[in-house]
């Protein structure tokens, strides 16, 4: 089993080593709808998961069950049903070569 490492990196930090927060996908505690929202002020966030991303895109007119308006946020949906929303100014890096 390969552990994929998903890293959200802000623009100016994309050229530096990631030293932000690291979570497993199970630690992110989604709302009742399976949504997790990462805000712009969160800095770099690394998500460890062995679930593949099954859908990606930009959210249109979506409000999470927790009440967060994520219009214009990028999202990625994992195979286990969790959807992570994050600001478009972040980028998502996926490294499937690392094992944890």
Phi then psi dihedrals of residue 68, to 5 deg: -90, 125
Question: Containing domain of residue 12, as a range?
Answer: 4-95
Residue 75 has pLDDT above 80, yes or no: yes
In a domain, 49, yes or no: yes
Instruction: Work out how many domains the chain is built from and give that number.
Output: 1
Q: List, for residues 5-57, the tens digit of each pLDDT value.
A: 666 655 444 444 555 677 787 888 899 999 999 887 777 777 778 788 899 89
In a domain, 72, yes or no: yes
d(CA 43, CA 8): 8
pTM of this structure? 0.76
Integer CA distances (angstroms), 1 to 28, 37, 51, 66, in order: 21, 27, 10, 33
In a domain, 100, yes or no: no
């Amino acid at each position: 089993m390969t552990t994929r490492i998903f890293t959200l990196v802000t623009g100016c930090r994309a050229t530096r080593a990631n030293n932000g927060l690291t979570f497993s996908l199970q630690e992110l505690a989604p709302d009742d709808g399976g949504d997790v929202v990462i805000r712009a002020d969160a800095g770099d966030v690394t998500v460890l998961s062995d679930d593949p991303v099954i859908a990606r895109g930009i959210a249109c007119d979506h409000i999470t069950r927790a009440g967060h308006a994520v219009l214009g946020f990028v999202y990625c949906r994992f195979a286990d049903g969790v959807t992570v929303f994050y600001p478009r100014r972040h980028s998502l890096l996926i490294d499937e070569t690392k094992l944890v």
